[in-house]
Amino acid sequence: MSEVVPPLQKNYIANLVKKGKRIDSRKLDEYREIKITPSFIGNAEGSALVELGGTKVLVGIKLEIGEPFKDTPDKGVLITNAELVPLASPEFEPGPPDENAIELARVVDRGIRESEALNLEKMVIKEGEHVWLTFIDIHILDHDGNLFDASTIGAVTALLTAKKPKAYMENGEVKIVDEWEPLPMEWIPASVTIGRINEKLMVDPNFEEENVLDAKICIVFDDGNKICAIQKVFGVLSIEQMKEAVKLSEKKSSEIRQMIMEAVKGEVEKHEKRKGKKQKNR
Amino acid sequence: MSEVVPPLQKNYIANLVKKGKRIDSRKLDEYREIKITPSFIGNAEGSALVELGGTKVLVGIKLEIGEPFKDTPDKGVLITNAELVPLASPEFEPGPPDENAIELARVVDRGIRESEALNLEKMVIKEGEHVWLTFIDIHILDHDGNLFDASTIGAVTALLTAKKPKAYMENGEVKIVDEWEPLPMEWIPASVTIGRINEKLMVDPNFEEENVLDAKICIVFDDGNKICAIQKVFGVLSIEQMKEAVKLSEKKSSEIRQMIMEAVKGEVEKHEKRKGKKQKNR
Amino acid sequence: MSEVVPPLQKNYIANLVKKGKRIDSRKLDEYREIKITPSFIGNAEGSALVELGGTKVLVGIKLEIGEPFKDTPDKGVLITNAELVPLASPEFEPGPPDENAIELARVVDRGIRESEALNLEKMVIKEGEHVWLTFIDIHILDHDGNLFDASTIGAVTALLTAKKPKAYMENGEVKIVDEWEPLPMEWIPASVTIGRINEKLMVDPNFEEENVLDAKICIVFDDGNKICAIQKVFGVLSIEQMKEAVKLSEKKSSEIRQMIMEAVKGEVEKHEKRKGKKQKNR
Amino acid sequence: MSYLLKEKPKKLINENGLRLDGRKRLELRPIKLKVGTLKNANGSAYIEWGRNKIIVAVYGPREIHPKHMALPTEARLRCRYSMAAFSTPERKRPGPDRRSIELSKVIKEALKPALFLERFPKTAIDVFIEVLESEGGTRVASITAASIALADAGIPMRDLVAACAAGKVDGQIVLDLNSAEDMYGEADLPIAMMPRKKEITLIQMDGKMSIDEFNESLKICIDACDKIYEVQRKALIEKFKV
Amino acid sequence: MSYLLKEKPKKLINENGLRLDGRKRLELRPIKLKVGTLKNANGSAYIEWGRNKIIVAVYGPREIHPKHMALPTEARLRCRYSMAAFSTPERKRPGPDRRSIELSKVIKEALKPALFLERFPKTAIDVFIEVLESEGGTRVASITAASIALADAGIPMRDLVAACAAGKVDGQIVLDLNSAEDMYGEADLPIAMMPRKKEITLIQMDGKMSIDEFNESLKICIDACDKIYEVQRKALIEKFKV
Amino acid sequence: MSYLLKEKPKKLINENGLRLDGRKRLELRPIKLKVGTLKNANGSAYIEWGRNKIIVAVYGPREIHPKHMALPTEARLRCRYSMAAFSTPERKRPGPDRRSIELSKVIKEALKPALFLERFPKTAIDVFIEVLESEGGTRVASITAASIALADAGIPMRDLVAACAAGKVDGQIVLDLNSAEDMYGEADLPIAMMPRKKEITLIQMDGKMSIDEFNESLKICIDACDKIYEVQRKALIEKFKV
């Protein structure tokens, strides 16, 4: 959100919304075109280029072997980082991640971590000593609004298509074999960002819309109909609007999930099997 | 000390001092009211809230087990840090400690370290390998002058009331038991800050006074009548003024020490016993 | 190079150069006076103070024992750092090394590393575990142009005169004896910096000249007639100028090398022997 | 102290429906709120919420540095949430980490809708939050206190902001999670509201919740915010009644 | 992935004169260059050069912050070469390191002579280079793409800048080194030129080369830059032909 | 080199009253002081004090950046005490640490009273101190040299500032502690004075001393400062006599 709102632009968009219309002629509950290109980067263990309208996000997964955290010796480590590089927008400045980059990284991380999409317990080589560190690096290339959803789509797709070599212990040392297997993914969380303007909700605000919204909220659903993360990014919502946003995001999240599954088709079968089992146990 | 001295304010204070008076009607050698609240923070191993007139300082002690420095394998490690958080004064700015915060931390540290108040040799679990790291964190909450004395009072009180669990070696590993004991405190150093204005000395300058002083000096005494730290903070002193300041600080330091002992009464007995022994050996 | 070129100064220097002359009455291919003082700093394992006209550079070598890099377990580690301290020029500012300091350090490093002047394979105590870390610290004291050559002369001289204690493994631990030996130096690289102005080349530009040059390039030769590093620092060169610069720098580099050898006379014999052997194997 | 690592308790709610600290499912921890405790700040507040101890100072509206940070049509609200090194069982290294940077932002966004920032263009309003001791729920306690400190500083406000968390623990929806419940529970849902206008200014969630559970959590938070609003009003009256 | 450390190959050029990736001694890797791929930037270009993938954005001429950075008689050209964390076999920590700071500078110096900076005094022209995947030769690929992005941004130029490296591998002079050749070869000589003016705007070398080898390397680079210049021109025509 | 750790010597003063470096109890190390050794600085001085080697440059009065650092009624004096990486037995990491930040401040406060800063409002006077080699007592050597560098820069001064340390070693009060005495001695008391005005501009102490010992230390420091003042005056005369 830029800091000074141009009032004319705001009125124009607000009036359109009152009639259920938007500046790019979408419906209020319609996403821009989503294009997902998995495995874009050869040097990454997993990656995805996501184009959401004019927004371009590249996510890469890198794996390393390291120590677990002291208080979770039986779990791998997940580290999510976002870079709002100045290439992507005249608003982004060089330097360490600012509050917006950190919020973005932490919300994407939360959606994946809290949904337990990546089973960190299966990312252990030897409990308390050697685990897989999974780095999710989010690189914004062009910022045309709704970075949260584009980044979550990218991160989830990259994880679903990532491969890791087999590793085991031998004589107290970690051995790695050149046999590659997918990461233990259990769920496909999907994030839905909703804007409020003129008391109406709209999904997937673009950059111009974000600049004039009264409120923005991001809601992430796992694929078992549970909310696994919420973040009100700015503005206020009434209680009714909040409940409406949750319902809307539940619906849209399954459409997005469908697109991710489409993009990673090869992976889908495996995932469906896993999911089938899970749902029964639930 | 703020950087630009208001000349009217300076004249007013200087004229008062000539008559032995001060803006808050104290005598030149009189401290403001001191209120010491030990054990204020439950999560800290030791802590003290010190109110010195309008100045509020909170000091916390945290303990960790770590490695000794290479050149002192037979000693625990003492780390003192001061945060001049922007909450405490419009003059403080966010960011890493500046020269004033570092000077404050180092002077408080010096008083404790050089007086050998905390016996670091008794903070060793296994020589050269495992020792206690003692962190003294000084948090300024409201800055109304004389941070040095308030912080030293806080640090000493927090150390006197701190508890550490017993630790010992077993099969090459550190074991910790839930039995708590006080830190090995040998002395009660006390710091006295003195200002010079109009060729007169005054103790415990408040914020307004600090802004117009010609010089400020801080002198720390252990409780065996020895000086253990001096820091001229700014300005100049004649040789006679310097000697006078030392005498004055000796006298005031024992009053302050008395107040600390009052505040940690439970600890006093133990301390007195320790001190009795020490004095004989001196 | 300062950022704004004074046009009058530029014309004056450019016109002189057309006639083969320079502001300090040197010839185009003439260096300023070079004064080398080896072993200036007692606390350094090797050091040299270099005065190149008005430019003063102090280089110190420090040695530590540490781990090799993972991908070169059979080599010692070389770390080169340059500090453009604000003492040396009104253009230098306090703070971490900027792009100019980093470029300087990396070009000096490259000349030494790529010429294999210091035989890093002989700086290993135990392969994969303990090697010598060699720190080259370049401290600019007065900046009157041509820091690259002055720094390389300083670094090479400091390395040639540095001593290290003998170290060996005993019961899995590194032992160090108080017997000192020179570092395993194989070559004496020499750097030649060339400026272009008015389509003419000149060596060793001073500060005023650097400010008005059309281009500056630094070329390093090992002492076996091979180029081991090039860095165009700014500006453009035609292809012919580039070739001419290489020839010129080959010639001047042997003069500089001669001066270094003069300065470290005691070391020269040993070096010559080493070099004799090497040349045969080439 | 982190070297005495506590194990995860088997049950967070016992057979009598009581939680580890003896509270009932929908019971708030005791809250003490004091206004105007600092001398230098333009406004301040100190809150004890359970074992949480937090002090908040407000400076401003005041000049802004560097100048290009100034906004032409309103005051820039800046928040700094910071934890004292000794506020946590394991010592926290001083300086902002990623968590505190995110919290500073969400707290700022929770307070902003309540302020008439447009009355002070080109200035800064700074909210400094120091967590002196933490026991779970520091962000809602911080917002509750900061809102009062802003009022104490005389910043004109549309409404106070009251905040509280709900969550899911041992399968049940509970109010006002403490540290252990936050760490070992299934979900945490901190909410801030302008109580009179019934508008949500902060909502975050992590963990897993069904939509029904979410709606229930939302409801008990709204009720709790009303109670906290009363605490806030009393604290303000206390200050100004003299 | 760094944990599967590759050994140094015995030969980098086989008995048939072919390199590890099947190329001949003087053969360039395939180059794809696309202009104007970004929406926000004033100019942009995307290059795939072998497995290198690099995107470049140009912003400016625009206002400069802080103001005292402004130059009175020309635009300040600023370059930022940066590698994505996932661009290398071993994860690269985000943020500038010494190598990328040096590369940012030499790339800036390679582009600067081609620009009429004096037409935009007191402004900034920013070139942002993001290496998304690297396989050796990122600096020459970056310069090649940046030059096109500058043209796309409408910055007036004396000439394009084309760049390529030569080097010495297994004792032979080869064109366009890849990662393995860069790491295990004997010398690397990246060069940038203004092809029409035949002027060198970047030259660096590390490794060891005789003067003859240097001259040969220089020659093959010049020829290669002519080819790359054609690729650049075609990409620009492609963009503007619509 | 730190890997050859020296043990603490049994005695720092032998039976003949001589110290490890052969000096008597109240003997200064040899001091060489040279004015105007740097070309770029407005004023400079180089001091060798025992094995300490320190160079000081003064720049200013000059414009100040950022502007809001300017003081309306006087020049801002800034000091930067910095140790070269190779100046100590163990390599020092470049960049300021807590010790050097404190020393920069106390040196600034030691010099400030001697300067007529009010003659140059809104400007900066920068004192840059580079310790090239250290052997104990660098702060007093730095002040002694800096005072001369300020005079060399033509900054009007009330008096020079001369500095020296006393201390307690093996139970005796000694003058001018070296490294070993500083490390293993009982107390260290560095003092700076304006010798003509007999005013103390720096005094610090660490260690333990009785009041009597303090007074004795003070006395021998004052005497030593008079001697150092002579060295300073000679150095200035040397410079300007040509």
Please write the tens of the pLDDT for every residue from A27-52.
999 999 999 999 999 999 999 999 99
Cα–Cα distances in angstroms (integers) from residue A243 to residues A250, D217, E58, in the given order: 11, 12, 43
Task: Give the list of residues 6+ apart from residue C131 with CB closer than 8 angstroms, or none.
Answer: C65, C66, C67, C68, C75, C76, C77, C123, C124, C125
C98 touches chain F (CB under 8 A): no
Domain tally, chain B? 1
- Measured on CA atoms in the order C141, C144, C147, C150, is the torsion positive or negative? negative
- Residue (of D241, D242, D239) closest to D38 by Cα position: D239
DSSP C118-159: B-GGGGEEETTTEEEEEEEEEEEEE--S-HHHHHHHHHHHHH
Q: Is residue C135 within 8 Å of C63, Cβ to Cβ?
A: yes
Is pLDDT of D58 > 90? yes
Is pLDDT of B55 > 70? yes
Task: Determine if the peptide bond prior to E61 is cis (ω within 30°).
Answer: yes
Whole-prediction pTM value? 0.94
Q: What is the mean pLDDT of chain A?
A: 92
Q: How many C-beta atoms lie closer than 10 Å to residue A42's C-beta?
A: 12
What are the chain F neighbours of C88 within 8 Å (beta carbons)?
A: 38, 40, 57
CATH topology of domain E31-237: Ribosomal Protein S5; domain 2 (3.30.230)
Give me the pLDDT at residue A273, please: 61
What are the chain B neighbours of F7 within 8 Å (beta carbons)?
A: none
Examine residue B129 and state whether it is found in any structural domain, yes or no: yes
Terminal Cα-to-Cα distance of chain D (whole angstroms): 43
Please write the tens of the pLDDT for every residue from F73-120.
999 999 999 999 999 999 999 999 999 999 999 999 999 999 999 999
Do C and F make contact, counting contact as 3+ CB pairs within 8 angstroms?
Answer: yes
Give me the pLDDT at residue D8, please: 77
Residue C178: HSE in the Cβ half-sphere, 13 Å Cα cutoff: 4
Q: Is residue C212 within 8 Å of C9, Cβ to Cβ?
A: yes
**Tokens coding F152:** 């060399």
Give me the pLDDT at residue B45, please: 96
Q: Is residue A165 within 8 Å of A176, Cβ to Cβ?
A: yes
Q: Is residue F206 within 8 Å of B229, Cβ to Cβ?
A: yes
Is pLDDT of C274 > 60? no
DSSP A179-222: EEEE--B----EEEEEEEETTEEEES--HHHHTT-SEEEEEEE-
A102 touches chain D (CB under 8 A): yes
Examine residue B2 and state whether it is found in any structural domain, yes or no: no
Examine residue B218 and state whether it is found in any structural domain, yes or no: yes
**pLDDT bucket at C1, cuts 50 / 70 / 90:** very low
Q: Is residue A137 within 8 Å of E86, Cβ to Cβ?
A: yes
Q: Which residue has the tokens 């800290």?
A: B44
**Tokens coding A168:** 């085991």
Binary contact (D106, A4; C-beta < 8 A): no
Examine residue B62 and state whether it is found in any structural domain, yes or no: yes
What are the chain B neighbours of F5 within 8 Å (beta carbons)?
A: 70-71
β pairing state of D162-169 and C200-203: unpaired
Domain definitions of chain F by residue range: 31-237
Put residue A39 in one of left, alpha, beta given phi > 0 → left and psi -120 to 50 → alpha. left
Mean pLDDT along residues B73-92: 97
Please write the tens of the pLDDT for every residue from A202-237.
999 999 999 999 999 999 999 889 999 999 999 999
Burial level of B282, CB count in 10 A (0-12/13-18/19+)?
exposed
Closest residue, chain A, to E40 (C-alpha): A89
Spatial distance between the Cα atoms of D106 and B200, rounded to a whole number of angstroms:
52
Q: Which residue has the tokens 């359109």?
A: A16
Binary contact (B83, D84; C-beta < 8 A): yes
Give me the pLDDT at residue A274, please: 55
F14 touches chain B (CB under 8 A): no
| CA B96 and chain centroid, separation | 21
Which residues on adjacent β-strands are paired with residue F166?
A: F175, F189
Spatial distance between the Cα atoms of A217 and D110, rounded to a whole number of angstroms:
13
Give me the pLDDT at residue C276, please: 55
- Residue (of D83, D148, D86, D77) closest to D117 by Cα position: D77
Examine residue A2 and state whether it is found in any structural domain, yes or no: no
Put residue C175 in one of left, alpha, beta given phi > 0 → left and psi -120 to 50 → alpha. beta
Q: DSSP E strands: which ranges in chain E? A: 31-35, 43-49, 52-62, 76-83, 124-133, 162-169, 172-175, 187-194, 199-209
Please write the tens of the pLDDT for every residue from A117-133.
999 999 999 999 999 99
Examine residue B71 and state whether it is found in any structural domain, yes or no: yes
Do F and B make contact, counting contact as 3+ CB pairs within 8 angstroms?
Answer: yes
Examine residue B1 and state whether it is found in any structural domain, yes or no: no
Binary contact (E5, C70; C-beta < 8 A): yes
Burial level of C273, CB count in 10 A (0-12/13-18/19+)?
exposed
Give me the pLDDT at residue B276, please: 55
D34, D40, D44, D69, best to mutate vs chain B, most B CBs in 10 Å: D40
Task: Determine if the peptide bond prior to D66 is cis (ω within 30°).
Answer: yes
Task: Classify the complex by whether its ipTM is higher than 0.85, answering yes or no.
Answer: yes
Domain containing B270 equals: 7-281
Closest residue, chain D, to A108 (C-alpha): D206
- Residue (of E237, E48, E66, E42) closest to E152 by Cα position: E42
What are the chain B neighbours of D86 within 8 Å (beta carbons)?
A: 41, 43-44, 47, 60-62, 135, 137
Spatial distance between the Cα atoms of C22 and D190, rounded to a whole number of angstroms:
74
Distance from CA of A246 to the nearest CA of D (A): 8
**Buried b / exposed e along E83-121 (16+ C-beta atoms within 10 A):** bbbbbbbebbebebebebbbbbbbbbbbbbbbbebeebe
β pairing state of A124-126 and A130-142: antiparallel
Amino acid residing at E23: R
Which residues on adjacent β-strands are paired with residue B55?
A: B52
Q: DSSP E strands: which ranges in chain D? A: 31-35, 43-49, 52-62, 76-83, 124-133, 162-169, 172-175, 187-194, 199-209
Spatial distance between the Cα atoms of E149 and E155, rounded to a whole number of angstroms:
9
Question: According to DSSP H, which parts of C168-238 are helical?
Answer: 207-210
Give me the pLDDT at residue C33, please: 98
Q: C259: domain CATH number?
A: 3.30.230.70
What are the chain B neighbours of F214 within 8 Å (beta carbons)?
A: 227, 246
Phi, psi of E89 (to 5 degrees): -55, -45
Give me the pLDDT at residue E2, please: 47
Q: Is residue B222 within 8 Å of B112, Cβ to Cβ?
A: no
Please write the tens of the pLDDT for every residue from E64-108.
988 889 999 999 999 999 999 999 999 999 999 999 999 999 999
In a 3-state reduction of DSSP, which class is residue F167?
strand
Distance from CA of F108 to the nearest CA of C (A): 16
F232 touches chain C (CB under 8 A): no
- Residue (of C222, C246, C247, C217) closest to C234 by Cα position: C217
**pLDDT bucket at A186, cuts 50 / 70 / 90:** very high
Closest residue, chain A, to E65 (C-alpha): A93
Binary contact (A250, D211; C-beta < 8 A): yes
Give percent above pLDDT 90 in chain E.
91
Range from C12-21, D9-18, E129-138 that averages highest in pLDDT: E129-138
Examine residue C2 and state whether it is found in any structural domain, yes or no: no
Spatial distance between the Cα atoms of D219 and E173, rounded to a whole number of angstroms:
75
Binary contact (E57, A87; C-beta < 8 A): yes
Give the neighbor-by-neighbor strand order of the sheet with F76-83: F31-35, F43-49, F52-62, F124-133, F76-83
Spatial distance between the Cα atoms of D59 and D41, rounded to a whole number of angstroms:
6
Please write the tens of the pLDDT for every residue from A55-101.
999 999 999 999 999 989 999 999 999 999 999 999 999 999 999 99
Is pLDDT of E158 > 70? yes
Binary contact (C103, E73; C-beta < 8 A): no
Intervals of chain F under pLDDT 50: 1-3, 5
